Amino acid sequence: MSTTIESLSALSETADFLPILGTDYIEFYVGNAKQAAYFYQHAFGFQPLAYRGLETGYREAASYVLRQGKVTFVLTTPYHPGNFIADHIYRHGDGVRVLALTVEDAAQAFEETTKRSGKAFLTPTRLEDEYGYVVLSGIHTYGDTVHIFVERKNYRGAFLPGFTGWNGFGRSEPVGFKYVDHCVGNVYLGEMLQFVTFYREVMGFKQLVSFDDKDISTEYSALMSKVMANGNGYIKFPINEPAQGRRKSQIEEYLEYYHGQGVQHVALAVEDIIYAVRELRRRGVEFLETPKAYYETLLDRVGKIDEPIEVLAELGILVDRDDEGYLLQIFTRPVQDRPTVFYEIIQRKGAKSFGKGNFKALFEAIEREQARRGNL
């Protein structure tokens, strides 16, 4: 086992050439943004925030912006074929195009990253309307995924210039999402180190935790994963690559159906996971099943916890412990027909890790579903 843990306080002592204030938004390219917006509003409890499209004079694509806590999703679909958005959807299905990060200075973020060999996506661009101005810039990361740096300290509008207010589709209640805990990328076999190096050299991130395939392997599937975190620890990007297993791993299945490297899952933090999961289930959100046997040995693995085991078992919530505390987590099924992007719901009670102890139980659950799809 090759586990190394570097504390967040140690990370913050090093000079940070790319100060990041938080996750600004996550943009998905989807086949039907209107229906996706309905899903995120009513199933996940996001609240309507902004819109851009034909009615606002934008003729390329429609975008719906929804927010819950500090989590902002943008759902975009093109009006016509023969453009990058349409091609992205044709190739990847619904998926994440943009992981946007809030910065103090988007021009500086662009300069610091591109001079360290980050591949330019968007040169610093100023957008303004009656609510002020923003500066956006961006670089490429794995696959067709990009990071956009958003400088919004001089902007008071709801989202970005060009967007208008939007009332959504009726009323929906939040489920308690607070912020984006982490976003995981799947990359090709043998390319994990290339992207670990990218986050370290180009973006100034540090490796937070690593575990090799012996930690997280099952009979059929395995993966290797390294977690990259920025200077203040707000932004965490684990990178997965497939490892040798007897059969096709879940990472390979993703890469095959996404037709490329991309975002595998977004983890959303909540303060009351029992409430959130009960509510999400009631609204029809599908979760991976957790074997009942998992709960028989749970207390032996994690020690005393505040939550009643029978409630966790009823809802399928997983628990893991590290040196600093414990965490509760659960994973949805993919939220589109392709077995690609899914969500993690996570409640941290001191633990700063990612549920390594649950990987085996989780993978076994994922593999049962892969087998059902004939992909194992």
Instruction: Give me the residues that bind Fe ion (CB under 5 A), please.
Output: 267, 344
**DSSP labels for 135-167?**
EEEEEE-STT-EEEEEE-TTB-SSSSTT-EE--
CB of 223 to Fe ion, least distance (A): 12
- Which structure tokens are listed for 155? 């902007």
Q: Kindly tell me which of 89 and 328 has the beta carbon lying closer to Fe ion.
A: 328
Q: Kindly tell me which of 43 and 267 has the beta carbon lying closer to Fe ion.
A: 267
CB of 81 to Fe ion, least distance (A): 34
CB of 161 to Fe ion, least distance (A): 33
CB of 184 to Fe ion, least distance (A): 5
- Which structure tokens are listed for 185? 């990328």
Q: Kindly tell me which of 159 and 211 has the beta carbon lying closer to Fe ion.
A: 211
Token pair 């980050």 is at which residue? 118
Angle between helices 356-372 and 250-258 (to 10 degrees): 60
Q: Give the Cα separation of 365 and 373 in Å (integer).
A: 13
CB of 227 to Fe ion, least distance (A): 9
The total of other beta-carbon atoms located within 10 Å of residue 82's CB is 7
CB of 106 to Fe ion, least distance (A): 28
Give per-residue burial for 187-200: e unless 16+ CB within 10 Å, then b: bbeeebeebbebbe
Q: Kindly tell me which of 109 and 346 has the beta carbon lying closer to Fe ion.
A: 346
Could you tell me if 275 and 281 are in contact, meaning their C-beta atoms sit under 8 angstroms apart?
A: no
- What is the SS3 assignment for 134? strand
Q: Kindly tell me which of 66 and 346 has the beta carbon lying closer to Fe ion.
A: 346
Q: Kindly tell me which of 100 and 318 has the beta carbon lying closer to Fe ion.
A: 318
CB of 196 to Fe ion, least distance (A): 17
The total of other beta-carbon atoms located within 10 Å of residue 333's CB is 14
Q: Kindly tell me which of 37 and 362 has the beta carbon lying closer to Fe ion.
A: 362
**Partners of residue 51 on adjacent β-strands:** 64, 164
The total of other beta-carbon atoms located within 10 Å of residue 4's CB is 10
CB of 183 to Fe ion, least distance (A): 9
Q: Kindly tell me which of 243 and 267 has the beta carbon lying closer to Fe ion.
A: 267
Could you tell me if 316 and 358 are in contact, meaning their C-beta atoms sit under 8 angstroms apart?
A: no
Burial class (CB in 10 A: 0-12, 13-18, 19+), 167: exposed
Distance of CA 275 to the CA centre of its chain: 21
Residue-level length of the chain: 376
